[in-house]
Structure 1
Amino acid sequence: MANDIQTKLGCNAFFFIALLCMLRAKIVDGENMYSMENLELVPRKGTVKTIESESGDIIDCVDIYQQPTLNDPALKNHVIEMQPPFIPKPKFFKPGNFQTWRKNGDCPKGTVPLIRNTKGHYKLIMEEEPDEGNFKGEEEYAQITSSDGHYYGFDATLNLWNPNVTFSGEYSTSQVWISSLGPPDKASTLVAGWQVIPGETKSRLFVYSTHAGNKSCLNTACGFVQVSKEIVLGQSLVPLSIYNGKQSDVYISFMKFPNSPWWLVFQNEAVGYWPVDIFKEFADYAPRINFGGKIYNSKPNCTHTTTQMGSGHFPSEGLGKACYIKSIRYFNEKRIFMETNASTFKPLVTKPACYDLNFGKDNNETSIFFGGPGYSDTCRV
């Protein structure tokens, strides 16, 4: 009799724990990480032309002065800067059109192309900067970070992959960013790279920002002023790298000039900028630069997610098989790109059994390999 009661209690406890896991996963999916933006079924305000891309995305050519970021009170009477003072020559640059939407038309002068949310694209609503040895939440990183000086920008080359993102509310990115110092939940960040969300086989160019750990902005929703009429934030990038085959990579740089905002350059095109009127903590320089990958683990059924990072393979597999960010340089006070010293970077890896990182000097340049498959025999929780 006692054994029967213990067995029933054990079964009930197991059922209760499993139920909590399912409810928890549902809450994470619905609230913690992502929320669905309202579907935009009509053209954006200020649209003068609409283009449908080969992949089915709807792109509105919007009057440059009617883009959403300019609704911010901090930018009242803001005069848009159309170009940075100059664009330094990249160390390595492969010319190429990584976005194909312009095959179906171009945006007119004086407009910027903004992707319309007709398919329920996700909006990232939570971002947390990791502190060494103190990772909160369910975000997982494999990155390097340097807090060793005053940084006026950086540049790097990222290869393109399409990792599998399994569960609703999760994502996977390869990204480069600047961040402020202080407690992680108070940090400000400016981020760029590529990201993959559930249910897609596309890797999309994105920018992202957080302000003092509070307001977060994805792409052109807020925080970022676009000036390019050729690049669409949120649009897919092609072609992708081939495992054990040809690698496809893109060039990204951040630059801060005197009395100027933080500029983003993709390939050789000035995409736009983050205004210092909003991000006053970066008015002069950035104290920290970061490079690496990130995923969100919703812990489905209380196990580790199968969402991949990078190529889905560990960095030990090396060139042609693993995701990389290479040719990392920093922009100094004289506005010259300089080689970074690998010894100034600290690796930050949440769960090496799930996603790992290798970095160092290769041909006199700082590079990293990172990524992994997620759930496996050695990565269960």
Structure 2
Amino acid sequence: MTIVMNLLSLLFSTAVVYSNQSTVPLRSFKMSENVTYDCVDIYKQPGLNHHLLKTHKIQVKPSVSRPELKMQTGNNETSNKKKIRCPNGTVPILRNTKEFIKNSQFFAKKHIHPLTVDSPGTHIAGVRSNGGPFRGVEAKFNGYTLNVGNDQASYSQMYIGGGLKDEVNFISAGWMINPGLFGDGRVWTFGFWKGKDGKGCYNTACSGFIQVSKVVPILWYSIHKDKNTGNWWITRLMKDEPNEDIGYWPKELFNLLDNGANMTGVGGVVQASRSGSGPPMGNGNFPNGNHEDSATFTNIKVLNSNYEQSQMNSFPIDKLVDSDKCYGLKIGSLLPFYRLRFGFFFNYGGPGGNSCGV
């Protein structure tokens, strides 16, 4: 079942202590019993506490407007039943527990991405393009309710990054079910980065990400490099209203992305339990050619070295499926009707099980 829920309450549902917040918030929004956002001064937000950002000056909006990033077609839009609107000059920051911060640091070390050394129990189904340099990636996709065990994880993501020998710079965003990280089996939005010091972080669980939107405290939809500053922005793409530039990862955090990324892609990833049982991926169904029956990534686009946008399949792509007994991938139809409606798209996912392999 497609998740159509409040984006503002998806992110990091833990209790009510923000460890780095030393100033009194001007306003707070309690989204649920365990989720509260505080409106804090944009220039005193905890993201600026990172040791690489001591001289960083906040970029309040992208230097170049990107109307071409607007969403062109629609799967179900996520609703906002509860709205956050912080006062001018403030941004919404989630109150985190010490336990969540500890868990996020643990899972950041083992976060799975296409440059990760083979990890036992990890399985993927998606597409990737190498070469570049790429300046951005966007895709439209949904999160789904799934039965994922306490020692399993299942997520769908778009990503962009690069590697050199044993070093990796990496940015991803999407949907995740990870009870060990979030403390429950719900679907959460996430943003993740790994930079020049070899450490990674989820959203605002630690310093690094700079929030600028006073309305949307989440990470999703489009990742793109700012042409003038080199910062990596995350933008929420809207169908019938202006896009929302949420924030960015400053260029100071990275040492391998100065000239763009040499790899980008989208897809699903799962982590099996210690017993070897693989969780479901996507919506739990194998792709059968009908885009409505299984999980789908649509309108998958990239920005090339000249900041020109095109469908990802304009570049050579690799299909990544490493356990076809449990998960599958089917590239979308090339018929004009589907190209016009969905652009480059594919269906992916599967039920998981005990025969997925190592």
The answer (yes or no) to whether the contact 2:301–2:311 under 8 Å persists in 1 is yes
Note if 1:107 corresponds to 2:77: no
Note if 1:277 corresponds to 2:252: yes
Relative distance call for 1:262 and 1:297 in structure 2 (3 A) is same
Question: Partner of 2:17 in structure 1?
Answer: 41
When Rg is computed on C-alpha atoms for both structures, the one with the higher figure is 1
Task: Compute the TM-score of the two structures, normalised by the length of structure 1.
Answer: 0.75
For the residues of structure 2 that align with 1:87 and 1:178, how far apart are their CA atoms?
Answer: 18
Relative distance call for 1:205 and 1:98 in structure 2 (3 A) is farther
Q: Which aligned pairs between 1:126-145 and structure 2 lie closer than 5 A?
A: 126-130=110-114, 135-145=118-128
Q: Calculate percent identity across the aligned residue pairs.
A: 28
Relative distance call for 1:141 and 1:37 in structure 2 (3 A) is same
Match among 174, 188, 194 for residue 204 of structure 1:
188
The answer (yes or no) to whether the contact 1:360–1:367 under 8 Å persists in 2 is yes
1:298 is paired with a residue whose SS is: coil
For the residues of structure 2 that align with 1:160 and 1:108, how far apart are their CA atoms?
Answer: 30
The answer (yes or no) to whether the contact 1:313–1:321 under 8 Å persists in 2 is yes
Q: Deviation at 1:77?
A: 2.6
For the residues of structure 1 that align with 2:200 and 2:164, how far apart are their CA atoms?
Answer: 18
2:345 is paired with a residue whose SS is: strand
Question: Partner of 2:162 in structure 1?
Answer: 180
**Structure 2 stretches lacking a partner, 5+ long:** 1-11, 238-242
Q: Which amino acid aligns with 1:209?
A: W
Q: Number of residues paired by the alignment?
A: 322
Q: Which moved more, 1:284-293 or 1:210-219?
A: 210-219
1:277 is paired with a residue whose SS is: helix
1:70 is paired with a residue whose SS is: helix
Q: Deviation at 1:258?
A: 3.0
Q: Deviation at 1:173?
A: 1.1
For the residues of structure 1 that align with 2:78 and 2:233, how far apart are their CA atoms?
Answer: 20
Match among 226, 231, 235 for residue 256 of structure 1:
226
Question: Partner of 2:176 in structure 1?
Answer: 195
Aligned-CA RMSD value: 3.0
Q: Which aligned pairs between 1:1-381 and structure 2 lie closer than 5 A?
A: 40-41=16-17, 44-46=21-23, 47-54=25-32, 56-84=34-62, 85-89=64-68, 90-94=70-74, 98-102=79-83, 106-117=85-96, 121=100, 122-123=103-104, 124-125=107-108, 126-130=110-114, 135-168=118-151, 170-183=152-165, 186-198=167-179, 200=184, 202-211=186-195, 214-220=198-204, 221-233=206-218, 251-267=221-237, 268-300=243-275, 303-305=276-278, 307-316=279-288, 318-341=290-313, 344-360=316-332, 362=334, 363-364=338-339, 365-375=343-353, 378-379=355-356
Relative distance call for 1:55 and 1:161 in structure 2 (3 A) is farther
2:253 is paired with a residue whose SS is: coil
1:271-309, Cα deviation, whole Å (9 max, x unpaired)? 111111111311221111111011222323xx323x221
1:311 is paired with a residue whose SS is: coil
For the residues of structure 1 that align with 2:115 and 2:210, how far apart are their CA atoms?
Answer: 29
The answer (yes or no) to whether the contact 1:151–1:289 under 8 Å persists in 2 is yes
Relative distance call for 1:37 and 1:196 in structure 2 (3 A) is closer
1:191-247, Cα deviation, whole Å (9 max, x unpaired)? 11111222645322211011258201101223321111111238xxxxxxxxxxxxx
**Structure 1 stretches lacking a partner, 5+ long:** 1-35, 235-249
The answer (yes or no) to whether the contact 1:324–1:369 under 8 Å persists in 2 is yes
The answer (yes or no) to whether the contact 1:154–1:255 under 8 Å persists in 2 is no
For the residues of structure 2 that align with 1:320 and 1:332, how far apart are their CA atoms?
Answer: 30
Task: Compute the TM-score of the two structures, normalised by the length of structure 2.
Answer: 0.79
Q: Deviation at 1:175?
A: 0.4
1:47-76, Cα deviation, whole Å (9 max, x unpaired)? 222211147411111221222221112111
The answer (yes or no) to whether the contact 2:331–2:346 under 8 Å persists in 1 is yes
Q: Deviation at 1:93?
A: 4.9
Q: Which amino acid aligns with 1:88?
A: P
For the residues of structure 2 that align with 1:212 and 1:309, how far apart are their CA atoms?
Answer: 31
